[in-house]
């Protein structure tokens, strides 16, 4: 291992106890999308105390930007750069939880690994004998459906960033995980109320329309491609059993690995929903969510560096592509703008993300000092060293 990578690893290892405390604190906060006020305060204070210039509430109330550039020239560790433009690397943190089940996607670990990698990178920037580039730690709230990264993209936060990196806990390891894109919309059915016992024939039942629409989609799934996903919940189904429901609402989410296929799936699903309105005599309307998620594009160069550096420090996992679908992420939107690294790592549980069992597992990891986490923190920092010191790795 070269000297700069060793510097990064040593710097991370020195903070191991504090990093576990950081993860544990965020795990206990359990704050929902755009409400991550305590986690925002915890992370920004931690970074500020370690020499980062922090802008709190950056573009969004619970987002932040923490930056570091070397203040002075070091006399050690020569690195040869071949370009006048120095790379700007962004390490991303997520820290929102899910309703009812807390940190069931392990965002407390995502935040910890992001901060840890940043500490290693900062040590390298301090001790290299020339200006290697710029480091930003970007706190990105509301990944769980709120599209915080999309808001930050639209606000120009990533306009001068060359590479963005983070890592996500999962029940399996994959340097090139499959995160599919998709969109969400509401469907509202409008009927006519009436007394359900006295005059049911006078009503037009909007709940019947919703239930039939749900069943139409269930039947449609038999003809859907294996990589397509359609999820439906009824969010409003009436108020009293003795009133024919005149207003119902469903939330629909469609997903696919290819963004270009979304209109095709959407047309099929909406045909199912229109048919149920026709059958029951209801009218309907659709309301789109404003921030659809794109599929994740993993940069092959960065994924290769992640694998190579994992091997350098003795990590034994074989990060071959599993082709297991993990869901969707707003990191997908960013990956269509600039090179991104977003590997998953096995975090010591066979439980799946978005379950209570996963929540418990990622909380226990911080308390028992799970042995793989120090290595995973170091791998991200080592990838950053390669990007800083070898221009052909980031001019991609």
What region does 377 belong to: left with phi over 0, alpha with psi -120 to 50, or beta?
alpha
Question: Of 9-23, 79-93, 105-119, 187-201, where does mean pLDDT reach its minimum?
Answer: 79-93
Question: Of 80-84, 120-124, 149-153, 216-220, where does mean pLDDT reach its minimum?
Answer: 80-84
Are residue 114 and residue 155 in the same domain, yes or no? yes
For residue 74, what are its two tokens? 């070091």
Are residue 267 and residue 281 in the same domain, yes or no? yes
Give this prediction's pTM. 0.90
Are residue 191 and residue 228 in the same domain, yes or no? yes
How much is the pLDDT for 268? Answer: 98
How much is the pLDDT for 391? Answer: 67
Are residue 37 and residue 135 in the same domain, yes or no? yes
- Each residue's pLDDT tens digit, 369-396: 455 666 788 999 999 999 998 866 656 5
Q: How far apart are the first and last CA of the chain?
A: 24
- Each residue's pLDDT tens digit, 222-280: 999 998 999 999 999 999 999 999 999 999 999 999 999 999 999 999 999 999 999 99
Domain-ending residue, one of 265, 288, 311: 288
Are residue 129 and residue 168 in the same domain, yes or no? yes
Does pLDDT of 317 surpass 60?
Answer: no
CATH of the domain at 357: 3.40.630.10
Give the pLDDT band of residue 172 (cuts 50, 70, 90): confident
Domain-ending residue, one of 288, 318, 338: 288
Give the pLDDT band of residue 334 (cuts 50, 70, 90): very high
How much is the pLDDT for 375? Answer: 78
Are residue 163 and residue 46 in the same domain, yes or no? yes
Are residue 145 and residue 228 in the same domain, yes or no? no
Residue ranges making up the domain that contains 194? 181-288
Strands (E), the chain: 53-56, 64-68, 88-93, 134-139, 163-165, 168-170, 178-179, 181-190, 229-236, 247-256, 283-288, 325-327, 340-341, 344-346
Domain tally, the chain = 2
d(CA 207, CA 245): 6
CATH of the domain at 191: 3.30.70.360
Are residue 303 and residue 266 in the same domain, yes or no? no
Closest by CA position to 137, among listed 155, 111, 106: 111
Domain-ending residue, one of 288, 316, 345: 288
d(CA 112, CA 135): 16
Residue 301, CA distances (Å) to 36, 167, 168, 352 in order: 33, 16, 18, 28
Are residue 121 and residue 158 in the same domain, yes or no? yes
Are residue 125 and residue 14 in the same domain, yes or no? yes
Are residue 260 and residue 200 in the same domain, yes or no? yes
Using the structure block, give the residue that is written with the tokens 């969400």: 184
Are residue 219 and residue 357 in the same domain, yes or no? no
């Amino acid at each position: 291992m070269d000297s700069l990578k060793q510097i990064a690893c040593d710097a991370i290892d020195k903070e191991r106890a504090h990093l576990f405390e950081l993860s544990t604190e965020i795990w206990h906060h359990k704050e929902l999308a755009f409400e991550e006020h305590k986690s925002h305060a915890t992370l920004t204070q931690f970074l500020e105390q370690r020499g980062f210039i922090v802008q709190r509430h950056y573009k969004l109330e619970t987002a932040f930007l923490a930056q570091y550039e070397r203040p002075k020239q070091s006399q050690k560790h020569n690195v040869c750069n071949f370009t006048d433009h120095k790379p700007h690397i962004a390490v991303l943190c997520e820290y929102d939880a899910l309703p009812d089940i807390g940190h069931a996607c392990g965002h407390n670990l995502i935040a910890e690994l992001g901060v840890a990698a940043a500490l290693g990178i900062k040590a390298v920037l301090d001790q290299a004998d020339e200006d290697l580039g710029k480091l930003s730690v970007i706190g990105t709230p509301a990944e769980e459906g709120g599209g915080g990264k999309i808001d930050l993209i639209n606000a120009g936060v990533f306009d001068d960033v060359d590479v963005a990196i983070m890592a996500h806990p999962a029940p399996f390891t994959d340097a090139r995980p499959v995160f599919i894109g998709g969109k969400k919309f509401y469907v509202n059915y409008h009927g006519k109320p009436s007394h359900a016992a006295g005059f049911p024939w006078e009503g037009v039942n909007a709940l019947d329309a919703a239930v039939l629409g749900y069943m139409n989609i269930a039947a449609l799934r038999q003809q859907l491609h294996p990589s397509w996903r359609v999820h439906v919940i009824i969010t409003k189904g009436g108020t009293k059993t003795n009133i024919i429901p005149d207003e119902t609402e469903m939330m629909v989410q469609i997903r696919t690995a290819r963004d270009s296929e979304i209109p095709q799936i959407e047309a099929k699903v909406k045909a199912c929903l229109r048919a149920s309105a026709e059958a029951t005599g209801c009218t309907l309307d659709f309301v789109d969510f404003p921030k659809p998620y794109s599929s994740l594009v993993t940069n092959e160069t960065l994924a290769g560096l992640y694998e190579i550096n994992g091997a350098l420090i003795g990590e034994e996992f074989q990060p071959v592509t599993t082709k297991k679908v993990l869901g969707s992420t707003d990191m997908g939107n960013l990956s269509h703008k600039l090179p991104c690294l977003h590997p998953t790592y096995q975090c010591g549980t066979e439980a799946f993300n978005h379950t209570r069992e996963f929540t418990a597992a990622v909380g226990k990891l911080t308390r028992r000092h799970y042995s793989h986490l120090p290595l995973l923190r170091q791998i991200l920092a080592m990838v950053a060293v390669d990007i800083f010191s070898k221009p052909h790795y980031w001019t991609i």
